[in-house]
Amino acid sequence: MTPIYLLSLGSALVQPPGIFLLIAGIGLLLSTLLGWHWFGRTVILLALLGIYFCATPIGARLLLQPLEDQYPALLQPISGKSAPQAIVVLGGGEIVDPGRAIPEMANARTLMRLQAAATLAQEVDLPLVPSGGAPSFGAPSEAATMAALLRKSFHVDNPIWLEGKSYNTAANAKDSAALLHQHRIRRIYLVTSAVHMPRAMAWFRHYGLIPTPVPCDYRMGQAAPLSWQSWLPRAIYEEISSEAMHEYVGLLWYRWRTRQF
């Protein structure tokens, strides 16, 4: 099994619902194989409660809000000596369908990021750097798909420099930094989803860039007063909780890789 597939497996097992299914499986083994019935059943119950809590609005918000609120929205471009010199927009994934005339299409996450980048590009005359590698062997890079959308759908005429090799956030930062270094650029606008921004900012700073965050694609609106509906489980909140947990694990991975514990 290749490293990228091992990373996918590991990611699935450390975020909901995978982590809770793994915990429930451990509880089942403790109960059936070791005879620790009370302890094993308690572990299974805790796993079920975890699945339930992450599927509620209040659970999803408690996980999501510290990430999305870390960097405020950009209200107006920066001017002066500290003004960024390029706009980097990170890919959020593609939908690949070989049966279509154009098999690669950006998903909703990527489209939201492109919209934010295009809006900013209309206000500042700066080059854009779409960052993202090929989703599968032989397919065009995600960056190429993003560049085509910026031109055709968002009518952006700014210069576009493709970074089409990276396959994760760390590589986005490393490869974008190498590309921008060729143009003697360090200060950038960094466009990505609000939940992803803390991890993206950490990696881009690590590789020597000075990013100004441009968060977008917020997953939840303003917090509503608590009510009985706050405790009703929905699949969409399990998805949001899973995405937030993915980011927390990614931040821990960043700290381990950069030895910042």
Segments in the chain forming alpha helices (H): 3-13, 18-32, 37-54, 57-68, 108-123, 142-152, 169-182, 197-206, 235-257
Q: Using an 8 Å Cβ cutoff, are 91 and 132 in contact? A: yes
- The pair of structure tokens assigned to 87 is 């706009």
The whole-number pLDDT of residue 216 equals: 97
The whole-number pLDDT of residue 1 equals: 52
The whole-number pLDDT of residue 137 equals: 59
Q: Give pLDDT tens digits for 137-195.
A: 567 899 999 999 999 999 999 999 999 999 899 999 999 999 999 999 999 999 999 99
Task: Report, at the CATH architecture level, how domain 86-216 is classified.
Answer: 3-Layer(aba) Sandwich (3.40)
Helix axes 3-13, 18-32, angle to 10 degrees: 70
pLDDT level of residue 98 (50, 70, 90 thresholds): low
Q: What residue ranges do the domains of the chain occupy?
A: 3-68+226-257, 86-216
Rank 13-22, 35-44, 215-224 by mean pLDDT and report only the highest.
Answer: 35-44
The whole-number pLDDT of residue 197 equals: 98
* Count of CA atoms in the C-beta half-sphere (13 A) of 12: 7
- The pair of structure tokens assigned to 48 is 């079920």
Q: Measure the CA–CA gap between 208 and 18, rounded to whole angstroms.
A: 35
Q: Using an 8 Å Cβ cutoff, are 162 and 154 in contact? A: no
The whole-number pLDDT of residue 15 equals: 87
Planar angle of CA 245, 246, 247, nearest 5 degrees: 90
pTM, 2 dp? 0.90
pLDDT level of residue 254 (50, 70, 90 thresholds): very high
Question: At 64, phi and psi to the nearest 5?
Answer: -80, -40
Q: Give pLDDT tens digits for 62-87.
A: 999 999 999 999 999 998 889 999 99
